[in-house]
Amino acid sequence: MTLYLDDHQVREVLRMQDLIPVMEKALIDFSAGKVVQPVRTSFEVEPYDGYFFLMPAYGEGLGVKIVTLYYSNVERGLPAHFATIFLLDPATGAPLAVMDGTLITEMRTAAVSAAATKLLAPVDARILAIIGSGVQARSHFKAMSLVRDFEEVRVCDRTPEIAQRFADEIGARATTAEDAVRGADVVVTVTSATEPVLKGTWLKPGCHVNAVGAPRSNWRELDDGVMENVLFVDSRDAAMVESGDVILSGAEIYAEIGEALAGHVEPRTEETTVFKSLGMAIEDVAAAMLVYRRVKGV
Amino acid at position 118, single letter: K
Q: Tell me what pLDDT residue 158 has.
A: 93
The three-state DSSP-derived secondary structure of the chain is CCEEECHHHHHHHCCHHHHHHHHHHHHHHHHCCCCECCCCEEEEECCCCEEEEEEEEECCCEEEEEEEECCCHHHHCCCCEEEEEEEECCCCCCEEEEEECHHHHHHHHHHHHHHHHHHHCCCCCCEEEEECCCHHHHHHHHHHHHHCCCCEEEEECCCHHHHHHHHHHHCCEECCHHHHHCCCCEEEECCCCCCCCECHHHCCCCCEEEECCCCCCCCCCECHHHHCCEEEECCHHHHHHHCHHHHHHCCCCCEEHHHHHCCCCCCCCCCCEEEECCCCHHHHHHHHHHHHHHHHCC
- Rounded Cα gap, residues 249 and 31, in angstroms: 24
Q: According to CATH, where is 3.30.1780.10 located in the chain?
A: 3-105+282-296
Q: Tell me what pLDDT residue 31 has.
A: 98
Q: Which residues pair with 232 in a beta bridge?
A: 255, 275
Q: Tell me what pLDDT residue 114 has.
A: 98
For 88-122, the pLDDT digits (tens) are 999 999 999 999 999 999 999 999 999 999 999 99
- CATH 3.80.10.10 is right for the domain spanning 122-280: no
Q: According to CATH, where is 3.40.50.720 located in the chain?
A: 122-280
| Tally of CB atoms within 10 A around 228 | 14
Written out in words, the top-level CATH class of the domain with range 3-105+282-296 is alpha beta
Phi, psi of 248 (to 5 degrees): -75, -25
List the one residue out of 137, 254, 115, 249 whose CA is nearest residue 188: 137
Say which residues have a Cβ less than 8 Å from residue 40's Cβ, sequence separation at least 6: 53, 54, 55, 238, 242, 281
For 164-212, the pLDDT digits (tens) are 999 999 999 999 999 999 999 999 999 989 999 999 999 999 999 999 9
- Rounded Cα gap, residues 33 and 65, in angstroms: 20
Cis peptide before 215 (omega within 30 of 0): no
Return averaged pLDDT per consecutive 10 residues of the chain, 298 residues in all.
Answer: 95 98 98 94 90 95 95 85 95 97 96 98 98 96 98 96 97 98 98 95 98 92 98 96 96 98 97 97 98 93
Query: Rounded to whole angstroms, what are the CA distances from 16 to 72, 288, 298?
Result: 28, 13, 19
Amino acid at position 214, single letter: A
